[in-house]
Amino acid sequence: MPAQGTPSSKGQEIQRTFDRITGYYDLMNRLMTLGRHAAWCREVAAGAEVPPGGSMLDIATGTGVIALAARERYPNSTVHAVDFSERMLAAAAGKPGASAIRWQQADANDLPFGDESFDAVTHGYLLRNVENVEHVLEEQYRVLRPGGRVVMLETCPPRGPLRHPVELGVRVVIPLLGQVVARDRQSYAYLQESTLGFMTPQEVSEILRRVGFSSVAWRKRFLGTHMIISAEKR
């Protein structure tokens, strides 16, 4: 199905960026997280707590790592996975086990699903790439059933005594890996900027509460450069 709505100019540029890096996306995520990315995605899937026979939506699924982890964890549930990049979806749909997942092109700003359609919503690295975080979270609140959970993996700016050396490492390592591995320094320079320029977990938590979510919790990973946040729909 076609994506819903027309992406903004920034959205179109981000879409082109992810189309360019599709072939290297999984490898780069492994390298940039020293192999921890897949484990964090499994942690997100576990936090979704999809009931037997329930349904889950993974937004900005990329190459489907969270969606595939959810499918393995909840074999009796239905997993939907959406992304605005057709190339990412094609890569995800070609993986082992992918035939059991319902893949669809869609925009996180305008989800093509009815109110209260899912028992859980997950996403990885979505919010740092959207223009209106609150609106995107409102869409997720809308499609969640009462009592449903949202669980997300995001980057966050490091804090504390290690802040400056970690920032320096991010500024140097990510574009360098992009140049050496993906031959695309420009795309990974953008990812480096969005990593360091995104919100703190406290700021994301405040938006979640403002939208209407409750039971907001978060934990940091990887020297404070990543966070996993969960919340429930009242």
pLDDT score of 9: 67
Residue 108 annotated as part of some ligand binding site: yes
Domain of residue 85 covers 9-26+34-156+198-233
- Give residue 70's identity as a one-letter amino acid code: A
Q: 107 a known binding residue?
A: yes
Q: What is the pLDDT, as a whole number, of residue 27?
A: 94
Q: Is residue 190 part of a domain?
A: no
Q: Is residue 171 part of a domain?
A: no
Residue 1 lies in a domain: no
Inside any domain, residue 41:
yes
The CATH number given to whatever domain includes residue 150 is 3.40.50.150
C-beta separation of 211 from 134 below 8 A: yes
Average pLDDT, the chain: 92
Q: Which pTM was predicted?
A: 0.92
Q: Confirm whether residue 19 is marked as ligand binding.
A: no
* pLDDT higher than 70, residue 221: yes
Which H or E run contains 218? strand 213-221
For residue 1, what pLDDT band results from cuts at 50, 70 and 90? very low
129 occurs within a structural domain: yes
Q: What is the DSSP string of 117-163?
A: -EEEEEEES-GGG-S-HHHHHHHHHHHEEEEEEEEEEEE----STTH
Residue 228: what pLDDT? 98
For residue 101, tell me if it sits in a domain. Answer: yes
Do the domain assignments include residue 60? yes
Is residue 83 part of an annotated ligand binding site? yes
| Percent of the chain with pLDDT strictly greater than 90 | 72
Token pair 């995800």 is found at 92
How far apart are alpha carbons 115 and 136 in whole angstroms? Answer: 14
Whether residue 143 is predicted with pLDDT greater than 50 in this model: the reply is yes
Q: Is residue 87 part of a domain?
A: yes
More confident residue, 5 or 169: 169
pLDDT recorded at residue 4: 41
Could you tell me what percent of the chain has a pLDDT over 70? 96
Condensed to tens digits (0 to 9), the pLDDT of residues 61-103 reads: 999 999 999 999 999 999 999 999 999 999 999 999 999 999 9
Kindly list the strands in the beta sheet with 213-221, ordered across the sheet, starting from the edge strand earlier in the chain. Answer: 102-105, 78-83, 55-59, 118-124, 144-155, 226-233, 213-221
Number of domains in the chain: 1
Query: Which among 219, 216, 196 has a CA at the least distance from the CA of 206?
Result: 216
What is the torsional sign of CA 96, 37, 155, 56?
Answer: positive
